Structure 1
Amino acid sequence: MNTGIIIGKDRSGQPCTIDMEELLATRLLVQGNSGSGKSHLLRRLLEESADMVQQVVIDPEGDFTSLADVFSHIVIDGAAHSVAEIEALARRVREHRASVVLALEGLDVEQQIRCAAQFIGAMFDAPREHWYPALVVVDEAQMFAPAVSGEISEDTRRLSMNAMTNLMCRGRKRGLAGIVATQRLAKLAKNVAAEASNFLMGRTFLDIDMIRAADLLGMERRQAEQIRDLDRGSFLGLGPAITRRPLSIHIGPTRTGTKRNASGLMPLPDAKPAEMEALLHAELEIEAAPPPVDRPVPAPPPEDLSRNLDILDTSPAPAEAKPADSDGPGNDGPSQQDIARSALRALAADPSSTYQSASNLFQSFLTKCRAAGAHAVGMDMEQFRREFAFALAGIDRLDDAQQHTAQQMAAHVDSDILAPYLVIIRSAFEGKDAPDTDELAAAYGTSSPGRIRRLLDHIETLGLIVIREEYGGGRSLLVPGIDPNIEPNIEPNAEVQTV
């Protein structure tokens, strides 16, 4: 059986081959700067060997998904699966000998690294009966096996380095032949690069990369200059699967191409400056507008709670007439509702109140009421928490219509976040900037700006506000249903500035 594939031609026009059976045992390292033809080389190798051996491509940029248009490759979208699903897919890839492209372009860099490491690790740990021969091509390998720690977490780096080291060092016995491609040899971990016995070195301009490439090719350092002079698509090859002496190879054509190519020149649009300016600014405010907020219809509150939510806003029932001969006190003093309101205001005015537990506050409230002569305010702790939130936010500063609107909007908001939400509502009605971090922190009972940011993000997920980031580092809050300049029953969005 002929196990060789033609990868290109040498300078004399003779075909250059790669022995795939030998490559499976000795692995391959490809190096070349951006634009040197590195991806084209990998594509040629994959196309020519597609009918010979199973192929697994780790593709961080989505460059190789077009292989599925011509060959039997299956594209796996890394962004569409959980960790458990990625590992299960990797095991099935080994079991069924499927050729796949793991497309990672939908993930950020750290997620790409973790997803690739989990996929390779699961293939490496496959049962012995599934140890079939397979090429594992890792493009942009300097991401997955960096020479030094970068901006990714140490846990992610350790996970990825372990997977790549297993692939290149111990993968051969499990049938896995690693092909790693990198733009910079200096950025690739040496213990990963050193395990390859075959090399295809493309054009590079940095001295440190040229010297390291020359060392791997067994060339003297003064000969390293020829690496800088290579044409696009030309590589210096060396290794038991390619040639025993360094050989310049020009890579042949491919049948598939990238999904997109923005590297070539194309005619510029012929629109005049005024027309182009109009195109750029047409309906800009519509495109930049925040998405509409879908506020779910909440279930009605329990009957006993809804009946008593406004207990402090109702007039007390008239007291029964006392007998003329009664020696008890008269009814000229403040009502129980007035006493309860005063107790709530006193608690709200105490800066330390919001840092106490709800149960302690409730006991303090009842004690103040009893001390003032109100022994039956008719409120449980949940009702107290809500009424305390209204007092803390200063909703009584608003007019009656605005207070009524605030009560409607807050009727189904959880009491844990009610106070800061009411502070935002009050500020919107007053036409002021949104409360600063300290004001929101006081309402929420925290001294952490980070908790306030997370609180606002949580309120946004509930559909109560919409947050828009500003270039200056500030944030705009859109509060659906409130604008101080219109009737409160109309529901436009009011923009409130915050930091």
Structure 2
Amino acid sequence: MKVDIDMGTTATHDAAKLDIEELLATRLLVQGNSGSGKSHLLRRLLEQSAKWVQQVVVDPEGDFVTLADAFGHIVVDADRSEGELIGIANRIRQHRVSCVLTLEGLEIDDQMRAAATFLNALFDADREFWFPVLVVVDEAQMFAPAAGGEVAEDARRASLGAMTNLMCRGRKRGLAGVIATQRLAKLAKNVAAEASNFLMGRTFLDIDMARAADLLGMDRRQAEQFRDLQRGSFVALGPAMSRRPLKVTIGPVETGARSSSPKLMPLPDAPQDVEDLIFTPAPEDFARPPVTRRAAPQPRATTDIMEDLAHAASVQQAEPEAETPGRRPPMDAEELEVWIAETLAAITASAESAFRSDSELYQDFLMRGRMRRIAGAPLSMGEFRLRLAVARSGVDEETASGEAWQTALSLATGVTDDLQGVFLMLAKTAITAGPCPSDAEIARAYGTHSARRARRFLDWFEEQGLIVLHQDHTGKRIAAFPDLDAQTTGGNADAPLSDGNGRVEAAE
């Protein structure tokens, strides 16, 4: 049965129709910055399709609970045990009741676990209950993040797995995913890639505009139009709406969110005794229990054996040695800095150093220091890793003294230790306007022979908003750094790796 619902109007003032049956088979991705009208769009979609298809809404902020009064949705508070959520989800599918799973009031880890439990239960329902269900997930980047953040790893994995099942395997079980996100770059690619219908709203970041243009098959120069979209306007593409990019203005809705955008209103006249009014305590202030705030997650404790050994050596060397005739005098700070730079250059000059672990190289560094009779560890393990990454980047003194390189070093501190060398090599190439390194060169900078892994590194940098990848007119790869206002020239991504003697070796 073909059912078209009215989503609003097109640029030519025609009705913007959405085929619900086609949507159930092809899924939908909605993207737009905060304030672009995503929630309004989802509400319009839910209201218009409520009488035609069962709906399940995963609602992080409790904004869609107002659907209950007007359209009969059951509101499910997610603050329940895992068994309760599974049982409710099973009965939701069995009796074909529309519901809103509200996650309001839960910590982000608990929101992810509850959403994962509920979605997996919908997915694992008995075959006889595989009726069509429109599953709407607002703020999808929370439940399918592109990278790990300050959340428990088990919660992230469970949530990402549930979202992947919904978008990749849910169609045969009657589940049609509709996901909305503020940032495409923060949404896992394997989840976003399964949608065949897109509604792209206002966005300002270059990386999100580029991703949106790629998904819509538009030229990247056309991506500028996403900055100019008004609130409530979206560019639609997909078999359920239009085979060509189509600008759509979403129509009005019957229900409203409990929260709304802030509106300006005049301030009241200030009373004359305003200080007494504010600073005089009320009796209930002393009876109010203290607010317990959740502590920020602590990084996982790790023990670096080499760093412990270096610390032990520095303790043993704390007492000054008696001067011995013929023995080299101790270095001052300037001489020590020169020695560190020369030693790092010597270590990185070896062709094998790229494929040795940082711990091995740090041991080599400490050994050279002991041979030079340097007391303790000249650098900690963390400092050594960063200095090693700088040395591997091949930056010259003139470039290193520039403001762009200092910005690159600051950005590198937000990258995992193992990727700092790769990031700084790319940044140095962009600052000096050199050709973009090949996959084989990037792989060697990381210490691997895998070109596929090198391409994943670039994808991860792009997802974090650190770089933007594009191509020149000949198809060569260019890496642009928005924060540095610099980019590489075109480089052949598939170029083989040279060993410096005229021979080449291909990456795996």
TM-score tier after normalising by the smaller chain length: 0.5 to 0.7
In structure 2, what is the Cα distance between the partners aligned to 1:47 and 1:231?
22
Does the CA contact (< 8 Å) of 2:2 and 2:21 recur in 1?
no
2:222 alignment partner in structure 1: 223
In structure 2, what is the Cα distance between the partners aligned to 1:12 and 1:288?
63
Is 1:45 the counterpart of 2:16? The answer is no
In structure 1, what is the Cα distance between the partners aligned to 2:164 and 2:224?
31
Equivalent residue pairs, number: 290
1:90 alignment partner in structure 2: 89
- Helix, strand or coil for the counterpart of 2:63? coil
- Helix, strand or coil for the counterpart of 2:229? coil
1:273 positional shift: 5.8
Structure 2 counterparts to residues 220-369 of structure 1, below 5 A: 220-272=219-271, 274-275=273-274, 277-284=275-282, 286-291=284-289
2:27 alignment partner in structure 1: 27
In structure 1, what is the Cα distance between the partners aligned to 2:177 and 2:212?
19
Does the CA contact (< 8 Å) of 1:77 and 1:103 recur in 2?
yes
In structure 1, what is the Cα distance between the partners aligned to 2:227 and 2:168?
30
1:67 positional shift: 0.7
Does the CA contact (< 8 Å) of 1:200 and 1:236 recur in 2?
yes
Structure 2 counterparts to residues 439-478 of structure 1, below 5 A: none
In structure 2, what is the Cα distance between the partners aligned to 1:8 and 1:268?
37
Is 1:75 the counterpart of 2:75? The answer is yes
- Helix, strand or coil for the counterpart of 1:150? coil
In structure 2, what is the Cα distance between the partners aligned to 1:32 and 1:104?
22
Does the CA contact (< 8 Å) of 2:2 and 2:20 recur in 1?
no
Is 1:198 the counterpart of 2:177? The answer is no
Q: Deviations over 1:216-255 (max 9, x none)?
A: 0010001000011101100000000010000000000000
TM-score by length of 1: 0.57
Is 1:128 the counterpart of 2:127? The answer is yes
Distance change in 2, residues 1:278/1:67 (3 Å)? farther
1:289 positional shift: 3.1
1:13 alignment partner in structure 2: 13
Letter matched to residue 226 of structure 1? Q
In structure 2, what is the Cα distance between the partners aligned to 1:280 and 1:105?
31
In structure 2, what is the Cα distance between the partners aligned to 1:154 and 1:180?
22
Letter matched to residue 82 of structure 1? S
| More displaced stretch, 106-115 vs 203-212 | 106-115
- Helix, strand or coil for the counterpart of 1:121? helix
1:312 alignment partner in structure 2: none
Does the CA contact (< 8 Å) of 1:78 and 1:106 recur in 2?
no
The percentage of counterpart residues that share the same residue type is: 66
In structure 1, what is the Cα distance between the partners aligned to 2:112 and 2:62?
14
In structure 2, what is the Cα distance between the partners aligned to 1:239 and 1:262?
30
In structure 2, what is the Cα distance between the partners aligned to 1:222 and 1:61?
35
1:448 alignment partner in structure 2: none
CA-based RMSD: 1.4
Residue ranges of structure 2 left out of the alignment (5+ in a row): 291-508
In structure 2, what is the Cα distance between the partners aligned to 1:67 and 1:252?
17
In structure 1, what is the Cα distance between the partners aligned to 2:31 and 2:162?
20
Larger Rg: 1
- Helix, strand or coil for the counterpart of 2:273? helix
1:115 alignment partner in structure 2: 114
Q: Deviations over 1:290-324 (max 9, x none)?
A: 559xxxxxxxxxxxxxxxxxxxxxxxxxxxxxxxx
In structure 2, what is the Cα distance between the partners aligned to 1:216 and 1:288?
57
Distance change in 2, residues 1:64/1:290 (3 Å)? closer
1:106 positional shift: 1.6
In structure 2, what is the Cα distance between the partners aligned to 1:34 and 1:244?
27
2:178 alignment partner in structure 1: 179
Letter matched to residue 280 of structure 1? I
1:265 positional shift: 1.7
Is 1:142 the counterpart of 2:141? The answer is yes
In structure 1, what is the Cα distance between the partners aligned to 2:228 and 2:83?
47
Residue ranges of structure 1 left out of the alignment (5+ in a row): 293-499
Letter matched to residue 6 of structure 2? I
In structure 1, what is the Cα distance between the partners aligned to 2:97 and 2:280?
49
In structure 1, what is the Cα distance between the partners aligned to 2:111 and 2:74?
18
Is 1:63 the counterpart of 2:63? The answer is yes
- Helix, strand or coil for the counterpart of 2:178? strand
In structure 1, what is the Cα distance between the partners aligned to 2:19 and 2:261?
34
Letter matched to residue 276 of structure 2? A
1:281 positional shift: 3.1
Does the CA contact (< 8 Å) of 2:56 and 2:98 recur in 1?
yes
In structure 1, what is the Cα distance between the partners aligned to 2:214 and 2:288?
56
Distance change in 2, residues 1:286/1:236 (3 Å)? same
Structure 1 stretches of 4+ with a deviation exceeding 4 A read none
1:36 positional shift: 0.2
Does the CA contact (< 8 Å) of 1:33 and 1:184 recur in 2?
yes
In structure 2, what is the Cα distance between the partners aligned to 1:66 and 1:252?
18
In structure 1, what is the Cα distance between the partners aligned to 2:198 and 2:18?
11
Letter matched to residue 286 of structure 1? E
